[in-house]
Amino acid sequence: MRFRPSVGYRPAALRLCRSTMVDVLRVNERMPHLPSIRSHASARPGAVFQVQCCRHLRSWVVLSSFVLSAACTSNSEGHAGAAVRDTEAAVPVVVATAARKDVPVLVRAIGNVEAYSTVSIKTQVEGQLADVHFQEGQMVHKGDLLFTIDPRPFEAQLRRDEANLARDVAEANNADVEHKRLTKLLAQGFVSQDEFDQAKTKAAAMRAATKADEAALENAKLRLQYCTIRSPIDGRVGQILVHQGNVVKENDTTLAVINQIQPAYVSFSVPEQELPQIRQRAAAWPLTVEALVAGRSDPVTGELRFINNTVNPTTGTILLKGLFANTDETLWPGQFVEIHLTLGVQNGAVVVPAEAIQTGQQGSFVFVVTPDLTAEVRPIVSGHRTGPEVVVTQGLTPGERVVTDGQVRLAPGSKVEIKDAAAAAAPAHAAAN
């Protein structure tokens, strides 16, 4: 099939094919399986050569593009693989150095704050609550007036008992005079023995009635005093449970509760396995108890004062109590706090940050960074925890560097890149904000 140029054929395309003829000839020399371009050119110059030249040119361009594309792709994959290998070769981590310190031997527990003394205020007489003399939550002292019961019925009873006593005293005096007179008359034989015995009995009865009246009068005075209810201890009064105007019964209704919180107890339970050591240390010296309160940086310090006389068979724990001065009322009854009971001091212990310790199938381990910046898996035996650090009893020596952040990407023998802890924490802090 021959190509015949049309009227609208563009000379620019023809010039483009001619300009590339030299390059095409060179390709023909290097690729002999293609048809001879020279023969076509010599046999039929003109349009036929131009069409075939362009056809061969398109084949060469497509082939060249494929080869270049494959080369570029291979080159890109090579660079990407090298980048991955470089990344795997240096894992960024944060490290800390194992140190030797004197650390306290602690027993940790969760404690509950208890009032040193708790008093439920109840009335000892029946009557109407006339007045309340304090505010809810107020600090009260021993002897402060709290409640008043309507005293008028008790004042009337007191006056009645006073009158009864006066009457019986007068009758008792008269009986005594009568008894003395009959005693003289009996000696003279003017009265019978029966009359004398009656006078003697009446005098004795009136003396007994007088004593009964005196006791009733004392009881009336006491019940009148019960109309004013005063605080029996220093402490902080709670909610008013019965308000003014209500009628209360004797020893039946609680009016309010007072808690003495200066000092205060904190009760907590520890496993029974700790009991022998606690008893041994408590016999040698007073044991310090620290209470960590939420929202407060420094702990509240107290002293162990109570070890229960039996182990709870259900939970296998022993109840302990610490006494705290609590002058600033940091501890509040019912509050839960973290308790640290100090049993002593372990000298020269090896400690690492708690974040460095990992747990695997074989137990606890850490990643140790060797001098050539290689990660090494090191099994360890961990002891008790002291604040942010954990005591390592076996497996580490002071001065060794352990990984505290970045363990997820590590494997035995991985190359590491040590980064600053503050710089590592900055992105997380910025994300949190």
Hey, where are the domains in the chain?
Answer: 11-87, 91-101+348-432, 107-114+260-346, 119-254
Query: Within a 10 A sphere around the Cβ of 38, how many other Cβ atoms?
Result: 11
**Confidence class for position 421, pLDDT limits 50, 70, 90:** low
The architecture (CATH level 2) of 119-254 comes to Beta Barrel (2.40)
Question: Domain 91-101+348-432: which CATH class?
Answer: mainly beta
**Confidence class for position 89, pLDDT limits 50, 70, 90:** low
Q: What is the maximum span of the chain, computed from C-alpha positions, in angstroms?
A: 195
Average per-residue pLDDT in the chain?
Answer: 81
Which of 95, 57, 134, 110 is CA-nearest to residue 267? 110
- The domain covering 107-114+260-346 belongs, at the CATH homologous superfamily level, to Efflux pump adaptor protein, beta barrel domain (2.40.30.170)
**pLDDT given for residue 134 in this prediction:** 94
pLDDT digits (tens, 9 = 90+) for 175-205: 888 888 888 888 888 888 888 888 889 889 9
pTM of the full structure: 0.61
Percent of the chain topping pLDDT 70: 76
pLDDT digits (tens, 9 = 90+) for 10-38: 444 444 444 444 444 444 444 444 444 44
Q: Residues near 403 by Cβ (< 8 Å), separated by ≥ 6? A: 93, 94, 95, 356, 366, 367, 368, 369, 375, 410, 416
pLDDT digits (tens, 9 = 90+) for 117-166: 999 999 999 999 999 999 999 999 999 999 999 999 999 999 999 999 99
- CA-CA-CA-CA torsion sign (175, 176, 177, 182): positive
pLDDT digits (tens, 9 = 90+) for 255-302: 999 999 999 999 999 999 999 999 999 998 899 999 999 888 899 999
pLDDT digits (tens, 9 = 90+) for 328-357: 999 999 999 999 998 888 889 999 999 999
Q: What is the bridge-based pairing of β-strands 416-418 and 91-97?
A: parallel
- Asked if residue 44 has pLDDT above 90, the reply is no
> Can you tell me the distance from the alpha carbon of 172 to that of 184, in angstroms, rounded to the nearest whole number?
19
Q: Does this chain's domain 91-101+348-432 share its CATH topology with 107-114+260-346? A: no
**Confidence class for position 388, pLDDT limits 50, 70, 90:** confident
> Can you tell me the distance from the alpha carbon of 143 to that of 275, in angstroms, rounded to the nearest whole number?
42
- Asked if residue 227 has pLDDT above 70, the reply is yes
